[in-house]
Structure 1
């Protein structure tokens, strides 16, 4: 008989031996240990990658699903365009992240991360000004940055005081801009300690409200605060110019006369010298602007009777020396002219063209009369 006719062995007909079962179990255990080693190696590689480069991103993308709370690193953003207006204060020295935190607290942007991204993407973000800004709640971060950069959202009050204005003119302007009644300013000015008016001013604010543009934050728009800012600016400018406190009032009086008389910057130092020359010679100053101030009328409307009126303490035709106080708020150029007069022998000056303010200076009375004749000719040619 051959093997072809032998009955094939059917698996299962014979039971494996005990030694073969032990070998199989050993093979399976080794296979599991090998798989565990591969998984551990993969985990080590993944952790290394996370630490080196991608941890922040992976965590930020999965923290919400993993832990069930909002991810503070996620750059959430509003669709906009925004709803209710809200005031937000940007503190001086704030970084983009500081600004973002303030805007998140106010409900303007959805996340500081979105604001920082928009801040860094805007090349003009470094020009954002500190102060109080009015924005909208629920704004897209890029719109919030653009609004801050434009600076059209800043809540501020600007008061511009021109050179040569009187206290009354300053108060009228401050009241019209802020809506604060003039009476409140006058009451505030009664407390010179609160406004910082120096003792040498003798309680008179004329000349001490410095002419410039003042930018006031919302919490600064009080009568006392505004006057204090103006007085403080004058004191600062005088200190910067090296004026001793004892000389402040005298400098302001002279500078105010120059401010109201001079039209052009080169005339100011010459006029300052002419004033000093007259004072040293014991001559009356004969300055029309001072007389007009005492009468509360324009200098171009003075009459011969006005120039003869000794009851006017500001009549520098009738009273020698300086007037009792400044007659206006002088600017820095006029103060500088007083402190640095141009050397010369001038005694007289007169405008020869009342439209342009062109002025002639003279040492002798005869020269002065020639200049006055030129003025009279101009007046005749221009209707008196």
Structure 2
């Protein structure tokens, strides 16, 4: 059945949900015995006394005839009016779907987390598709709900919903590049990765990074970008500036901080939010697997509680501008604010940009008495934990032996 444009899916054919009349009903014959409508209007029960039966019969037949005549005329007028209104409104109704590939170009932005219905609404506002229903239908029909990605797209006005979906699924329609920042990079490394993946000048990114006040950092960051450039995948649009990109990384950190309950969790640990980020950055730098992160956090807290120095090689290497989780004897003896063999407590700031798993571990450490840990196999990310110094020495020798085999 062909459904008139503009009708809902559950409405029957015809205007207003009623069956459209195929034609006007024939007007009933006017009764011969109706002399004048005025006779009927003046008729009442009191006037019946003294009238003969023939008069009463003629009057009753006349009444029925006039009622039929008026009803028939009313039905015809209503039907004609509805049919005329439907014909007049038809050109003004929004079609359920456009046809073809569209006309004038238009840019549409899909925000992160938008549903197919919300995307359809944005497309309707931009005059890309005719209705939300047509777009959602083709998305569901093709099973593409999980394939629509955020970003800015170059589309065309008045497109068929299927054509609009095709462009949204075409990488060439997206007005941007994409860059992924892994967990554990330092700020300088993050800038280098951003410049390589986005095409934005590294010098400009570094210049913005040197002005932390422009980044929208949380107050507890104390104007330090290190630790607050959240590792994630970022879409780079043509209009994106270095400042826009770095600020988006800070916004993403704030969102993650809210999701893990950073500020409330820090209070439970009797730390500031910044100190939790410092712990998380060490966990990220030292850890091999996500499952080990809560145990590493517990080692850090056990050492802090006992008043012992952290003695983390990763902090030593950060202070020296080097990488690695194994510091040499000479490196351990070099004094920097980040040398946790020399200075008690946490280092003065984060040593990497942690991801959500490391932040969660810093807020919810595992339960245990571990005091040492050694990543005995860095390639396979195998870490062993102990509360006995003799076992720690054995694990450390196991690591040095393995590292010697690879050199």
Give, in whole Å, the separation in 1 of the partners of 2:333 and 2:122: 67
Match of 1:282 in 2: 307
Per the TM alignment, residue 362 of structure 1 is displaced from its structure 2 partner at its CA by 1.9
Unaligned runs of 5+ in 2: 1-68
Please identify the structure whose Cα radius of gyration is greater. 1
Give, in whole Å, the separation in 2 of the partners of 1:179 and 1:277: 45
Unaligned runs of 5+ in 1: 1-37, 62-70
2:214 is the alignment partner of 1:194:
yes
Match of 1:296 in 2: 321
Give, in whole Å, the separation in 1 of the partners of 2:119 and 2:254: 34
Per the TM alignment, residue 206 of structure 1 is displaced from its structure 2 partner at its CA by 0.8
Match of 1:262 in 2: 287
Asked if the contact 2:286–2:325 (Cα under 8 Å) also holds between the matched residues in 1, the reply is no
Asked if the contact 1:88–1:102 (Cα under 8 Å) also holds between the matched residues in 2, the reply is yes
Match of 1:343 in 2: 367
Q: 3-state DSSP class of the match of 2:353? A: coil
2:126 is the alignment partner of 1:119:
no
Match of 1:15 in 2: none
Give, in whole Å, the separation in 2 of the partners of 1:354 and 1:98: 48
Give, in whole Å, the separation in 1 of the partners of 2:329 and 2:136: 70
Asked if the contact 2:212–2:225 (Cα under 8 Å) also holds between the matched residues in 1, the reply is no
Per the TM alignment, residue 122 of structure 1 is displaced from its structure 2 partner at its CA by 1.7
Decide which of 214, 220, 228 is 2:247's aligned counterpart.
228
Give, in whole Å, the separation in 1 of the partners of 2:206 and 2:200: 11
Q: 3-state DSSP class of the match of 1:158? A: strand
**1:300-356: CA deviation from partner (whole Å, max 9, x where unpaired):** 67432112112x322222322222211001112222222222232222111221211
Per the TM alignment, residue 379 of structure 1 is displaced from its structure 2 partner at its CA by 3.3
- Is the alpha carbon distance of 1:119 and 1:50 closer, same or farther for their aligned partners in structure 2, counting shifts above 3 Å? farther
Give, in whole Å, the separation in 1 of the partners of 2:234 and 2:137: 33
Asked if the contact 1:238–1:248 (Cα under 8 Å) also holds between the matched residues in 2, the reply is no
Per the TM alignment, residue 260 of structure 1 is displaced from its structure 2 partner at its CA by 0.9
Decide which of 339, 363, 368 is 2:387's aligned counterpart.
363
Per the TM alignment, residue 86 of structure 1 is displaced from its structure 2 partner at its CA by 4.0
Per the TM alignment, residue 207 of structure 1 is displaced from its structure 2 partner at its CA by 0.6
Give, in whole Å, the separation in 1 of the partners of 2:241 and 2:337: 33
- Is the alpha carbon distance of 1:279 and 1:97 closer, same or farther for their aligned partners in structure 2, counting shifts above 3 Å? closer
Per the TM alignment, residue 85 of structure 1 is displaced from its structure 2 partner at its CA by 5.0
TM-score (norm 2): 0.66
Decide which of 348, 373, 379 is 1:324's aligned counterpart.
348
Match of 2:79 in 1: 48
Match of 1:161 in 2: 181
Decide which of 172, 197, 215 is 1:177's aligned counterpart.
197
Give, in whole Å, the separation in 1 of the partners of 2:182 and 2:124: 39
- Is the alpha carbon distance of 1:271 and 1:180 closer, same or farther for their aligned partners in structure 2, counting shifts above 3 Å? same
Match of 1:383 in 2: 406
Per the TM alignment, residue 49 of structure 1 is displaced from its structure 2 partner at its CA by 6.5
TM-score (norm 1): 0.70
- Is the alpha carbon distance of 1:121 and 1:59 closer, same or farther for their aligned partners in structure 2, counting shifts above 3 Å? farther
Match of 1:272 in 2: 297
Give, in whole Å, the separation in 2 of the partners of 1:130 and 1:172: 24
- Is the alpha carbon distance of 1:193 and 1:275 closer, same or farther for their aligned partners in structure 2, counting shifts above 3 Å? same
